[in-house]
């Protein structure tokens, strides 16, 4: 009887760990960033057909984040729609939460669209792209070509 209880307890623990891991695989949190990988089936308004979607892997996102930390000062040197009062993106990089949305470009290369925002991540952000029209440098976006390890098309929201 004791062994049966132990077996049942272990089974419940393993099932719980697997169930949590499924959800955790979409939510990444490190000392440098916090973000959510949106699966290809999730709503993404900025990545439209005919572009094919894919779900970025943790490894692809980790490469992206490492590269972003190394390159953000150069990428953002023009400081579009930013000022010292609101703060520059590179000085606040760890404060931004992210959504990672994968698509395949016309050349067949994987690209990850990164949606950055200062709001807390909510449950709906796990499967729906957050869209904000204003907000200045609290909301910005950038694309990352995985194969080329290259960022392009940084966009910072305007202010109302």
For 35-53, the pLDDT digits (tens) are 999 999 998 888 887 899 9
* R_g over Cα of the chain: 19
Q: How many helices (H) and strands (E) does the chain have?
A: 2, 7
Whole-angstrom distance, CA of residue 68 vs CA of residue 77: 13
Percent of the chain with pLDDT over 90: 48
Q: What pTM did the predictor assign? A: 0.80
Residue 142 has pLDDT above 90, yes or no: yes
pLDDT at site 156: 84
Closest CA to 159 of 139, 126, 125, 134: 134
pLDDT in tens, 2-33: 443 433 333 333 333 333 344 445 899 999 99
Tokens of 15: 């099932």
More confident residue, 80 or 25: 80
Q: Which two tokens stand for residue 136?
A: 């200045």
A 10 A CB-CB count for 26 gives 17
Count the helix, strand and coil residues of the chain and give each as a percent rounded to the nearest 5: 35, 25, 40
Tell me the torsion sign for CA atoms 122, 124, 129, 131. Answer: negative
């Amino acid at each position: 009887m004791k062994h049966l209880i132990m077996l049942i307890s272990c089974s419940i623990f393993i099932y719980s760990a697997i169930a949590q891991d499924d959800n955790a695989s979409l939510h990444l949190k490190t000392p440098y960033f916090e973000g959510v990988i949106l699966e290809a089936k999730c709503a993404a308004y900025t990545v439209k057909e005919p572009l094919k979607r894919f779900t970025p892997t943790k490894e692809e996102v980790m490469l992206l984040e490492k590269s972003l930390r190394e390159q953000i000062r150069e990428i953002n040197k023009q400081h579009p729609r930013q000022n010292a009062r609101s703060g520059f993106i590179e000085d606040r990089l760890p404060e931004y939460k992210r959504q990672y949305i994968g698509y395949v470009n016309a050349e067949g290369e994987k690209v990850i669209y990164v949606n950055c925002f200062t709001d807390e991540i909510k449950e709906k952000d796990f499967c729906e792209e957050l869209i904000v029209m204003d907000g200045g440098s609290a909301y910005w976006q950038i694309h990352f070509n995985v194969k080329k390890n290259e960022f392009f098309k940084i966009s910072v929201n305007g202010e109302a």
